[in-house]
Each structure stands twice: as structure tokens, then as C-alpha cells.
Amino acid sequence: MRDGARWWVFGTGRGIVSLWSTNRLDWHQGPSVFREAPAWANEWVPEHRFRYWAPDVIRVGEQFYLYYSVSTWGSRQSAIGLARSRALDPEAPGGGWRDAGPVVRTTPADNYNAIDPAPFLDRDGRLWLVFGSYWSGIKLVELDPATGLRKNAGSPLVDLAWKEAIEAAALLRHGDDYFLFVNWGQCCRGTNSTYEIRVGRSRSVTGPYLDRDGRDLREGGGTLFLSGSGRFIGPGHPAFFEAEGRWWVSYHFYDAEQAGRSALDILPLEWDAEGWPMVRPRQRP
């Protein structure tokens, strides 16, 4: 995400880690989003140890909304939190993240999991949040653009996709079509990770999303978008941004030439003759 002359990336870690760059090639360590855990996060997930997963940030008007996961491994005692700021650089005017509380919460009694948030702002100004991991799959909920919180606390969730091992969803609109990206497989295992990115297409943000062969993503469908290639093992958690007049996709992977260390890559996004998104996987940096 760009703010002024700097690009910012936020990632899993203590207090949510940040990096910044002026050219998207050379990155510098930024400050953590939080200096201490929000009180509600300690109460809801006491064992989370100040480590927040899979943050994603979006600009809505004059504010930045940063969504993040509060959970522990393999648990549905989870929540998606929100922090707000008027600048990504905490030292800039209006900078400094402020906790805005939970957006979605789950317990072991729920059949879905409130982690891996990805906000999406549509052309009509409506704000959405796609999220979910394992269990009953990927969900969609509408947010209030003025606050970043859930628009209607009791509104039902929309089912978008399911697979035995599915998470890390993201939404993108191109022309009149919406695209839902999801990850299949296992993450966080270094070079043993089996993550791959799948995609479906719909004419409505709420779906149904179908793959290239017409299979519904709610029934296990999904066209392959990006899989491991060369040193780039287990690509996952795609995010999209515009720069230099085109769209780009960022994703994390496990570097086979660095003992499976997690790293970030950015690729130009292309479109095939049938209007499906595609990338050309790299073999070397």
C-alpha cells in the first residue's frame, strides 16, 4: 500500500510488523503497529501472545483500515480486529494506529474461523471483508465504510468457497467481473508447504464464484492461478495493487534457496483472452 513517497507492507508478527520502501525493491524495517495488546484481544484469546496473523490494509476516503487475525494455531477461538490511522507512517501528520476493536469473532461452537481478513472496496463505495480458514470455508460480510466495522452486527455471512484445506482469500474486480482468490493446501512448513492459489469468477461480489470449468468454489472448485515453481515454494495470501498504470499481485512464499525462509514477491498481473487473471511465475529473482 502506498502513502506519499513510501510503500508499506504489514505482516504476521509481534504487534504486527511493518516494512517500508520507496521503490518496492529495497525494504526497511518499520515500527510495529501495536506496542501493547488491545485489552479485548487479551480477553478473547488469552494465549495469542501478542502475535497477530495475516494483516491486510485498505484506504477508504481519508483513513487507512488495517485488519488482522487474533488466534492460536488450530483454534476457532478467534477474532478479526481493526486498527485505524490517517497515515501509514506513524511519524507523519495523522499517523499512529488506534485500536477500533473486533470486527468478527468466533468460538469453537462456530463452524467457521475468524482469521485471514481481506477488505475489498467496490466501485459503488460498498466495503466488504472476505475471511475464513478450514472448517466451512470462506465467508463474506459487508462493512460500514465510515467506521470499517461490520455494517450490521446480526447480518448473515455469505458462503463463498469451501475445500478441506482453504484460507487466505482475496477479492479483485476487473471489468464487470469479480474474482475470488483462495489458497489450497498447507502453509507455514517451509519447503514442505503445499500452498497454491486458486481462483473463481462471478458477476456479483456475493457470488456464486465458478472456476474455468464451471465448478462452484463452494463445492470445491477452483482454477489454478499460481503454484510453486523453482525456489518459490508454497505461494500464498495474494494481495493486489495498482502502480505504473497496471495491476500487480504480491504474495509470500518459502525460499528453497534460503532453507525455506518466508519471503515476499511481486509479479505483474495479466489477463488471458478469456478474461482470466494470470501471472508468469519466476524461476529466479
Span 124-146, pLDDT tens digits: 999 999 999 999 999 999 999 99
The pTM assigned to this predicted structure is 0.97
| Of the candidate ranges 10-19, 228-237, 275-284, the one whose mean pLDDT is the lowest | 275-284
Answer yes or no: CATH 2.115.10.20 is held by domain 1-156. Answer: yes
pLDDT for position 283: 58
Measure the N-to-C terminal CA separation of the chain; round to a whole number of Å: 22
pLDDT at 285 over 60: no
User: What's the confidence (pLDDT) of residue 154?
Assistant: 82
Query: What backbone phi and psi angles, to 5 degrees, belong to 255?
Result: -85, 110
| pLDDT (0 to 100) of residue 195 | 97
Q: Select from 93, 99, 61 the least CA-distant residue to 81.
A: 99
What are the start and end residues of each CATH 2.115.10.20 domain in the chain? 1-156
Q: How high is the mean pLDDT of the chain? A: 96
